[in-house]
Amino acid sequence: MKKTVFLHFLLLCLILPIACTAMSVPESEAVAIKSGVKFESAVQIPETKFGQLFSSTSGFFQFEAPVTGNLHFYLKALDSEKGSTKGSITLFLYTKNREKLDIQALDYKEEYASCIAVEEGRTYVATLQSNRHGEYMNCLFSICFDGYHKASSKSEVTRNASCSKPGELIYPCLLCGYPAVTEEIPKLDHTPGDWSTDTEATCTKPGLSAQHCKVCGEVVASKEIPTSGHGATETVVTAEATCLQAGTTVERCLACGETVSSKQIPATGEHTPGPLRSVRAATCTSDGKDESRCSVCNTLLREETTSALGHSYSEWEVIREATKNEEGRQARMCFHCGHVETEQIEKLPKLFGIF
């Protein structure tokens, strides 16, 4: 049998089997499998309706992965050479050094599809064995690699195109059912809606009017809305005029609050008298002072003198009694400042001027 070599594209390093959805293979597209046939790459067996396996021997297929990626295989058990439906077929998938990758036994009409990560340059062995003694077992079996499939002429849409995202269609592999060819479906045109105001114009900033797509909401057209300009204003005093400093008034837009103009209020030149306050209290012996200053600028506006209070004494208190031979002494104290005033008390008179 003449061997035909296909190059294959693979993705991952050798890992454990990855389960895949089983896909039905039309008999007209199936490959023939005979006991002891060897091949080096995918789908090299003559394309007849089905293959046959005998119980005492195995269908033995050895191949070397040309690149790193996924191996896709499909197996469906059919009846025996004599039409029996009681036999089964077992798939054994190993590396050349007998590292087990997958084992699957199938009864009549059962099917199995899977993908196995393979490594470029590494050799793999697939074996199919029947348990039906004395009879060949019929089966459908195919092997494909990433990027090397037998593409169907019929496409399948896997993602519909929209106005915001392109779609996708595939041409599935006739053998394993995986996408053999993937094509992009161009994005659809937007469906413009009515014009609407996205941003209102203000006195100083333009607004934005836009048309949005009815499907995805994206802006498909836009135009600027001119500024409206300032309208009515109000006068606001921001700083009152004082006797020394000028004040300020501004005109503010009632719509946006922005200051449109401002002007100065002249200083009044008139002081605002504050209350008369004591700055030095009067004492018993010295005058006091009161003054009034401007409540805005603290300028002295008025000054008054308050008379000294004078002492305010208590009653006299004798601190030493007078005798016939000695004068006495009495004292009194000021209630305000504590000043003490003393005074002498005359001697007592002697009896007959002698005693």
pLDDT computed for residue 12 by the predictor = 21
Question: What is the mean pLDDT of the segment spanning 348-352?
Answer: 76
Question: What is the mean pLDDT of the segment spanning 5-31?
Answer: 29
Residues 76 and 117 in one domain: yes
In a domain, 2, yes or no: no
Residues 133 and 53 in one domain: yes
The mean predicted confidence, pLDDT, of the chain is 76
User: Does position 66 have pLDDT exceeding 90, yes or no?
Assistant: no
User: Does position 183 have pLDDT exceeding 90, yes or no?
Assistant: yes
CB-count exposure of residue 156 (10 Å: 0-12, 13-18, 19+): exposed
Q: 7 or 68: which carries more pLDDT confidence?
A: 68
d(CA 91, CA 76): 10
Residues 257 and 349 in one domain: no
β-strands 207-213, 317-320 pairing: unpaired
Confidence bin at 25 (pLDDT 50/70/90): very low
CB-count exposure of residue 88 (10 Å: 0-12, 13-18, 19+): middle
Residues 33 and 95 in one domain: yes
pLDDT computed for residue 112 by the predictor = 83
d(CA 17, CA 12): 12
d(CA 210, CA 193): 9
User: Does position 168 have pLDDT exceeding 90, yes or no?
Assistant: yes
Residues 28 and 130 in one domain: yes
pLDDT computed for residue 44 by the predictor = 35
According to DSSP, the residues that pair with 336 across neighbouring strands are none
The rounded percent of the chain whose pLDDT value lies above 90 is 12
Confidence bin at 106 (pLDDT 50/70/90): confident
Q: 319 or 147: which carries more pLDDT confidence?
A: 319
The string of DSSP letters for 101-138 reads EEEEEEETT-EEEEEEEE-TT-EEEEEEEE--TTSEEE
In a domain, 9, yes or no: no
Residues 135 and 211 in one domain: no
Residues 141 and 22 in one domain: yes
In a domain, 260, yes or no: yes
Q: What is the pLDDT of residues 211-228, one digit of tens each?
A: 999 888 899 899 999 988
Confidence bin at 348 (pLDDT 50/70/90): confident
pLDDT computed for residue 226 by the predictor = 92
Q: 120 or 193: which carries more pLDDT confidence?
A: 193
* 0.75 surpassed by pTM: no
Q: What is the pLDDT of residues 216-271, one digit of tens each?
A: 889 989 999 998 888 888 888 888 888 888 889 988 888 888 888 889 988 888 88
Residues 211 and 250 in one domain: no
What is the number of other CB atoms lying within 10 angstroms of the CB of residue 299?
13
User: Does position 53 have pLDDT exceeding 90, yes or no?
Assistant: no
Confidence bin at 15 (pLDDT 50/70/90): very low
Residues 197 and 237 in one domain: no
In a domain, 288, yes or no: yes
pLDDT computed for residue 134 by the predictor = 67
Max mean pLDDT range (38-47, 127-136, 167-176) = 167-176
pLDDT computed for residue 96 by the predictor = 79
d(CA 342, CA 318): 9
User: Does position 48 have pLDDT exceeding 60, yes or no?
Assistant: no
| Residue 332 in tokens | 């009194």
Number of domains in the chain: 6
Q: How far apart are the first and last CA of the chain?
A: 179
CA dihedral 116, 121, 122, 126 (to 10 degrees): 60
In a domain, 259, yes or no: yes
Q: 193 or 176: which carries more pLDDT confidence?
A: 193
| Residue 147 in tokens | 């990027």
Question: What is the mean pLDDT of the segment spanning 198-207?
Answer: 88
In a domain, 205, yes or no: yes
Q: Domain span at residue 221?
A: 192-225
Residues 300 and 245 in one domain: no
3-state secondary structure at position 86: coil
Residues 104 and 125 in one domain: yes
In a domain, 1, yes or no: no
Question: What is the mean pLDDT of the segment spanning 297-312?
Answer: 86
The type of residue at 142 is S
pLDDT computed for residue 352 by the predictor = 66
According to DSSP, the residues that pair with 99 across neighbouring strands are none
